[in-house]
């Protein structure tokens, strides 16, 4: 393990060795993020196969609702993870926090891989599944704040939006990886019966192994220069008391996140269920449509991140807010009425044209709000609380409205959430021009 830190990000004379260390650090941090989100999204990708094993019921909508409720329940642990790993990152270093978070994810995936079904151990099966998801929720609660802070601090300040966008490149990449594993199991290695009987365990076993590899890689990460400097000029805090000195910034993170996270989980997590149960596509069509739209979404992230480096963060966020408010209902309504996989793909991609305005830069905007000594906690904790309330619950809310026979209510709910965030975007300062990245308090 090396203790050599990344040199100051604002230096105008970056030598080749320092540039290589910076790129390597961003790569390793991003790969670890991808593994964490692969483990987490494997649950959603394979829910159609394992839900009957844990939630026996004749109605597939009810089975998916039970799985979605558990998905939402795991988000209740994310604020605790945001506090715990944010504290570790601000007090003991970004590297340690990132390493521990991926170790937690390893345990969660391993538990799911080996848990017996409801037919074998009864109610204990969904209970153990819930414990595993809680561990994963705790891990992700800390991963976001620590990785957003790390990637932002090691990036070149002139391209901070571009480099930090790779958090969502790898976040979405984790879901893509889960879908790739699903496609391979569906079409190459297993029959549908084998996949339902036991094959759904394979992706979770793979996730546990990948998490071990990511943990080893993260142990060798360079600590950021910002954290090392903060230790010299002020004792790293990471405390709730220290964080409460920034109430305006905390509320900004909540407002920034609410509409964006609801949109993100709608067009990632819920879309697989939506196009399968509401649009009526086959399992293969569903997988291919979601896969293609996520590839498109991945390509948009660095483009929008680079745009924010040129014109500022605020215009990109306002673009998301305006387009999301006026386009969400028409897109989802049209999507519900189509029977064409290609049209479904185009409509979801159309949604990503504005959703990427949030996903690509939300991490860097939040990191630029806080000084170094409370940055990871300031980014992670209010974000985790907001995601728990509005992001993780989005699939459950949508399925609840569907079970009532009023699925279209969710379209207006999502549009309203985005509009509320638009109000925040319109009144906040542009963090590209008024950044707290080099403050140590």
Q: Are 259 and 422 in contact (CB under 8 A)?
A: yes
Confidence of residue 439 (pLDDT cuts 50, 70, 90): low
The mean pLDDT value for 422-436 works out to 84
pLDDT tens track for 281-319: 887 788 889 889 999 999 999 999 999 999 999 999 999
Higher pLDDT, 117 or 61: 117
pLDDT at 92: 85
Computed over every residue of the chain, the mean pLDDT equals 83
Summarize pLDDT for 330-374 with one digit per residue, the tens.
999 999 888 888 999 999 999 999 999 999 999 899 988 888 888
pLDDT tens digits for 5-37? 444 444 444 466 666 777 777 777 777 778 878
What is the pLDDT, as a whole number, of residue 273? 81
The residue-averaged pLDDT of 416-424 equals: 94
Question: Among 52-56, 151-155, 235-239, whose mean pLDDT is lowest?
Answer: 235-239
Query: What is the mean pLDDT of the segment spanning 222-242?
Result: 74
% pLDDT > 70, the chain: 88
What domains sit in the chain, N to C, each tagged with a CATH number?
Answer: 17-427 (1.20.1250.20)
Q: pTM to 2 decimals?
A: 0.82
| Res 324 pLDDT > 90 | yes
Number of C-beta neighbours around residue 19 at 10 A: 12
Mean pLDDT of 426-440: 75
């Amino acid at each position: 393990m090396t203790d050599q830190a990344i040199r100051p990000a604002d230096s105008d004379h970056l030598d080749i060795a320092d540039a290589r260390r910076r790129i390597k650090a961003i790569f390793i941090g991003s790969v670890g993020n991808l593994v964490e989100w692969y483990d987490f999204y494997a649950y959603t990708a394979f829910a159609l196969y394992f839900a009957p094993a844990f939630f026996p019921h004749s109605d597939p909508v009810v089975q998916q609702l039970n799985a979605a409720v558990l998905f939402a329940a795991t988000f209740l642990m994310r604020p605790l993870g945001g506090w715990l790993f944010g504290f570790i990152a601000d007090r003991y270093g970004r590297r340690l926090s990132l390493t521990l978070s991926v170790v937690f994810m390893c345990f969660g995936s391993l538990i799911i891989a080996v848990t017996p079904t409801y037919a074998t151990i009864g109610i204990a099966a969904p209970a153990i599944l819930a414990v595993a998801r809680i561990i994963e929720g705790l891990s992700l609660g800390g991963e976001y704040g620590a990785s957003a802070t790390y990637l932002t601090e090691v990036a070149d300040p002139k391209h901070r939006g571009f480099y930090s966008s790779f958090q969502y490149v790898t976040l979405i990449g984790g879901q893509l990886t889960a879908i790739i594993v699903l496609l391979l199991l569906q079409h190459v290695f297993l029959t549908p019966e084998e996949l339902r009987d036991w094959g759904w365990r394979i992706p979770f076993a793979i996730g546990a192994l990948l998490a071990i590899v990511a943990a080893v890689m993260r142990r060798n990460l360079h600590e950021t220069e910002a954290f090392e400097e903060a230790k010299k000029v002020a004792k790293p805090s990471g405390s709730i008391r220290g964080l409460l000195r920034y109430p305006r910034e905390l509320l900004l993170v909540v407002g920034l996140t609410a509409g964006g996270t609801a949109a993100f989980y709608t067009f990632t997590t819920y879309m697989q269920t939506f196009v399968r149960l509401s649009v009526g596509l086959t399992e293969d069509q569903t997988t291919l449509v979601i896969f293609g739209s996520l590839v498109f979404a991945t390509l948009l992230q660095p483009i929008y991140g680079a745009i924010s480096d040129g014109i500022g963060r605020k215009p990109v966020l306002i673009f998301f807010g305006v387009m999301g408010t006026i386009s969400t209902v028409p897109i989802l309504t049209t999507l519900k009425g189509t029977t064409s996989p290609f049209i479904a793909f185009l409509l979801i991609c159309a949604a990503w044209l504005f959703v990427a305005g949030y996903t690509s830069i939300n991490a860097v905007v939040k990191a630029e709000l806080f000084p170094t000594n409370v940055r990871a906690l300031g980014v992670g904790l209010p974000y985790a609380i907001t995601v728990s309330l509005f992001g993780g619950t989005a699939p459950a809310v949508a399925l609840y409205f569907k079970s009532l026979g009023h699925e279209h209510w969710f379209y207006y709910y999502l549009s309203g959430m985005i509009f509320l965030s638009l109000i925040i975007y319109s009144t906040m300062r542009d963090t590209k021009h008024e950044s707290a990245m080099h403050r140590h308090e």
